[in-house]
Amino acid sequence: MPVPSWATALATILTFLVSSMIMFRGHEKKEAIDLLKRLNRLAQEFNTLNMEPRNQDRDIKMPRIVDLVSYQGSKLPSSDHVRLYKDKIRVTNDTLEGWFDEYNERLKLFLDYSKFLEMKTIESLTKSFRRLLFHHYEKIVDESIEFINKAGVVDKEEATTKFEEFKTNYNNFIDRFKIYCEDLKELGLKVGDWEPRTIAKDIDVKILGKD
């Protein structure tokens, strides 16, 4: 008995829908993996710029520039305030390094087990990174600049040179991260709040015993 033509057509449609769904899922999976790799590159760039240990002469991180502060300026009442400010920034930086290490482990997990990766995972990872960047800027970058501008340093040239290099590299990194976030938005993904910010301020350092 011949199969009715409508049944054949229905089977063809179902086969097409299933194959299309498989192709779509495959394309989405590949796209998610590509985005994860981009995010990982950005995270490692952030780590290199802000947390990776370096020799003092090559270290341009904000905590290193803060270490150049060696006396209380006219806007700081005592040498104890210098010590407390430096300790606070150091402890906060250690805490953020721990936060980044935990985040980095999550990235490695999904890179190693990418078959479980979904677009909503990319959303979650991006939101977490934006939050980390926001707090790092607030607690390390911005507060360090304010502290340096209130106090004085031994070597104005070293402090200024290191800061300008850090500022350029940091702002370039943030610009690349913003492009990544815009690409996610174009795909219909949500990146959350915690808007990343570039450095607009400069340091106005005073030389120890001179300014």
188-200, pLDDT tens digit by residue? 999 988 999 999 9
The candidate with the shortest Cα–Cα distance to 42, out of 147, 149, 126, is 126
pTM, entire model: 0.82
Neighbours of 162 (CB within 10 A): 21
Structure tokens, 169: 């590299």
Non-local CB neighbours of 185 within 8 Å, separated by 6+ positions: 191
- What's the distance, CA 107 to chain centroid? 13
Q: How far is it, in rounded angstroms, from Cα 90 to Cα 93?
A: 5
Segment 20-37, tens digit of pLDDT: 434 434 566 889 999 999
Percent of the chain topping pLDDT 70: 78
pLDDT tens sequence across 80-120: 778 888 899 999 999 999 999 999 999 999 999 888 899 99
Query: What pLDDT digit, counting tens, does each position of 168-182 carry?
Result: 999 999 999 999 999
Cite the beta strand spans of the chain per DSSP E: 69-71, 152-153, 206-207
The pLDDT, as a whole number, for residue 71 is 63
Largest CA distance in the chain: 104
The residue among 135, 43, 54 whose CA lies nearest residue 95 is 135
* Rounded (to 5) percent helix, strand, coil in the chain: 75, 5, 25
Q: Which two tokens stand for residue 127?
A: 């939101």
- Please provide the average confidence, as pLDDT, over all residues in the chain: 84
Distance of CA 37 to the CA centre of its chain: 14
The residue ranges of every structural domain in the chain are 5-207
How far is Cα 186 from Cα 204, in angstroms, rounded to an integer? 40
